[in-house]
Chains A and B, each alone.
Chain A
Amino acid sequence: MAIIKRKFDAVIVGAGGAGMRAALQLSEAGFKVAVITKVFPTRSHTVAAQGGIAASLGNVTEDNWHWHMYDTVKGSDYLGDQDAIEFMCRQASEVVYELEHFGMPFDRLENGKIYQRPFGGQSQNFGGAQATRSCATADRTGHALLHTLYQRNVQANTQFFIEWMGLDLIHNEQGEVLGLMAMEIETGEVMLLHAKVTLLATGGGGRVFQASTNAFINTGDGLGMAARAGIPLEDMEFWQFHPTGVYGAGVLISEAVRGEGGYLLNKDGERFMERYAPNARDLASRDVISRALTTEIREGRGCGNNADHLLLKLDHLGENIIRTRLPGIREIAIRFAQVDPINQPIPVVPTAHYMMGGIPTNLHGQVVAPYKTGPEEVIQGLYAVGECACVSVHGANRLGTNSLLDIVVFGRAAGDQIAKDLRKNLHHKPLPITVADKTLARLARLDGQKNGESVAQVGDLLRQTMQTHCGVFRFADMLKQGVVKINEIAERVAHTEIHDKSRVFNTARVEALELDNLIEVALASMVSAEGRKESRGAHARDDFPIRDDDKWLKHTLYFSENQRLDYKPVRLKPLTVGSFLPQERVY
């Protein structure tokens, strides 16, 4: 197959907040930038971020970056790298004011300053009173951010390749990354983008779980590309779950329902949260409730024919309260659960929400790995930012509204670092003759496969297996079986068949290629979770219920080759202030 080749200074994969913030930095500096994106940029999953962007502006209550840093380290259950966390929290105010200057329409206080709202996990004075730190544009902060960044990028002549899918990184024998193989979804045409630098900003891979709040596009494409190129994935055992996603659909039912007096029931009609959290009951923290739901299901008290979900009851609140205070929730229940909560409880299940792990980077967005001699050597030519990266500011658990901050701070930092590197390194490195072979072989395999497996069926099995064996609450035997099962599924992924071989907008082909990425995310998560013999943040093990800092205050690195695990120390030393040493995490 003849492949078209094009040259760019920088190729960015993904046009969410992280990719577009980096692209803007580079285009404005005059570099030739290509941004590859599966969907129109303003339809990236960043659009789903409602809560806001955390920054210690102190517009409502007194605040400073050091308090924000403390909250983030504590929230991460001490697994976050404190140099990166200091870097992020110190830059937060500056990046928010910069967005304001770009034209982002933040909500305002009466005095004209940016409005801020309080969020869980935010404190004043290192664990004191509630802080008010999240800057928002109503419930559309992500939407406003994407539109602002897209407009600026258009003005700065960033070149977007819309409805293109990144397939594989290309590299030479020394492991230097030389660009990307990509496919135009409209035509099926494959292109080689030869670049001085490549930035992965492909977002999360939450679609590996059967119950997921993530949009269908979140298939971990950057992680799949990295794993296939021999690059490790960091801390993939850490997934944040929300306790009440609609059973079968994943759409979130917000905590507001339980705040109004709704509560959870098992199949016996028992209000089971009373057993797990006698005081807070249905208002306990997300991870506590998620674990309780999972235990009820595992012990046979789940509801429905498969005993695989619980019920959220709110009919006792009365029609009037439901109609006036919870109209959006009622709408979601009717549409996605086919129940009207005025009469019937809503079936719910803990639902995967955010991936804390990802491609290991330093705070300049450079991808780092134990590559030649050191544990964190820079891989030449490759950068990663956003949910697909692990810098690691979220550690074992992310705080609300720190994700938008992450993508803007590190998107900008990566843009700056790339600009610096491009100024030093003026030439494209030569391409090995065989550079496209692996990708073309993968496409040819898919086109030529006979008597193969259905992409949808294997994908469903993958998602069920992750949900059952690597969900909220993890059990030794289930993880061990899970590793075997997910490897069997990986074998089947290698033999998928698509019946539609046409070139034009072939969604079946795209989904088969996405499954190649999902399986890498699933393998990394299952193997890493089986390996970590403690409970920390979002990783909760039945057999090791306690955090073990002596043995496990370290990051996991998963290598797809031989599914090898390695570990590296947590960076406990911040840039300028003293370390926050591990303490028991109590809220």
Chain B
Amino acid sequence: MKQLTRARWRCRRGLLELDIVLQRFMNERYALLCEPELRQFDALLDLSDNDLWDMIKIKTEVSDTRSQSVLQLLRAI
């Protein structure tokens, strides 16, 4: 429960684009994530707004492949 409520707050960002995408993600996909994916999502939320948005939007290559599956889900939202 705390993991969910904490993630929900950390989806509050400085960029409106991210607010909207992350809110959709929380409502539609978050509950379906498995444990390793939850950790990936947490790691993505630690990124700077512009870096995270570029990854989702411009589809910049991600060197750390561990975040790939959650990033794919975010891109599809």
Query: What are the interface flags for A495-509 relative to B under an 8 Å C-beta threshold, 1 for contact and 0 otherwise?
Result: 000000010111100
Other A-B pairs, 19, CB within 8 Å; known A336-B20, A504-B6: A38-B12, A42-B14, A42-B49, A43-B12, A43-B48, A45-B14, A47-B15, A48-B14, A216-B12, A216-B19, A216-B23, A217-B13, A332-B17, A336-B17, A505-B2, A505-B9, A506-B5, A507-B5, A507-B8
Interface size bucket, A side?
Answer: 35 or more
A535 CB contacts on chain B under 8 angstroms: none
Q: Are B49 and A47 in contact (CB under 8 A)?
A: yes
How far is the CB of A369 from the nearest CB of chain B, in Å? 30
In the bound complex, CA of A391 to CA of B49 (Å): 29
Q: Answer yes or no: A25 CB below 8 A from chain B CBs.
A: no
Q: Is A39 an interface residue (CB 8 A)?
A: yes
**For window 131-183 of chain A, which residues contact chain B by CB distance below 8 Å?**
140, 143, 147, 163
Contact present for A251 and B12 (CB under 8 Å): no
**Cβ B14 vs Cβ A43 within 8 A:** yes
A215 near B15: Cβ-Cβ < 8 Å: yes
Least CB separation from A331: chain B residue: B57
Q: A163-B9, A328-B57, A507-B9 in contact; A215/B48 too (CB < 8 A)?
A: no
Chain B residues with Cβ under 8 A from A39's Cβ?
A: 12-14
Interfacial chain B residues near A46, Cβ < 8 Å: 14
A143, B13: Cα distance in complex, Å: 12
**Contact, CB under 8 Å: B21 / A335:** yes
What is the 8 Å Cβ interface bit string for chain A, positions 201-241, against chain B (1 contact, 0 not)?
Answer: 00000000000111111000000000000000000000000
Total contacts A to B, CB within 8 angstroms? Answer: 78
Instruction: Kindly state the separation between the CA atoms of A251 and B16 in the bound complex, as whole angstroms.
Output: 7
Q: Tell me, yes or no, whether A249 is within 8 Å of chain B by CB.
A: yes
Checking B1, B16, B50 against A213 with a beta-carbon cut-off of 8 angstroms, the contacting residue is B16
Interchain CB contact under 8 A, A505 and B8: yes
A216 CA / B26 CA spacing, docked (Å): 15
> How many residues of chain B are within 8 Å of chain A by beta carbon?
21
Query: Nearest residue in B to A43 (C-beta to C-beta)?
Result: B14
Interface string of B26-65 (1 = CB under 8 A from A): 0000000000000000000000111000000110000000
Partner of B6, one of A45, A186, A331: A186
A44 within 8 A of B: yes
Within the assembled complex, what's the spacing in Å between the Cα atoms of A291 and B22? 32
Q: Could you list some 7 contacts between A and B, CB below 8 A?
A: A43-B49, A47-B14, A215-B12, A215-B15, A217-B13, A336-B20, A504-B1
Asked, given contacts A42-B48, A328-B57, whether A216 binds B16 with beta carbons under 8 Å apart, the answer is yes
Q: Cβ of A446 < 8 Å from any Cβ of B?
A: no
Residues of A within 8 Å of B15, CB to CB, are: 47-48, 215
When A47-B49, A47-B50 are in contact, do A250 and B16 touch as well, CB less than 8 Å?
yes
> B20 contacts A143, CB within 8 Å?
no
Q: Does B16 contact A215, Cβ atoms closer than 8 Å?
A: yes
Chain B hits for A217, CB < 8 A: 12-14
Q: Are B48 and A143 in contact (CB under 8 A)?
A: yes
Asked whether A185 lies within 8 Å of B9 as measured between CB atoms, the reply is: yes
**Shortest distance from the beta carbon of A387 to any chain B beta carbon, whole Å:** 13
A251 / chain B contacts, CB cutoff of 8 Å: 16-17, 20
- Other-chain contact of B16, A43, A48, A185 (Cβ < 8 Å): A48
Cα–Cα distance between A43 and B14 once the two chains are bound (Å): 5
In this complex, what residue of A is CB-closest to B57?
A: A331
A323 to B59, CA, bound (A): 15
Contact A140 B50 (CB under 8 A): yes
Kindly list chain A residues whose C-beta atoms are within 8 Å of the C-beta of B5: 502, 504-507
Rounded to whole Å, the gap between the CB of B26 and the closest CB of chain A is 10
Query: A215–B50 Cα gap in the complex (Å)?
Result: 13
A504 and B14 contact, CB distance less than 8 A: no
- Min C-beta distance of A250 to chain B, whole Å: 6
Q: Closest Cβ of chain A: how far from B62's Cβ, in Å?
A: 17
**Chain A residue nearest in CB terms to B8:** A507
Residues of A close to B8: CB separation below 8 A: 505, 507
Residue of B nearest to A138 (CB): B50
Instruction: Note all chain A residues with C-beta closer than 8 A to B16.
Output: 48, 212-216, 249-251
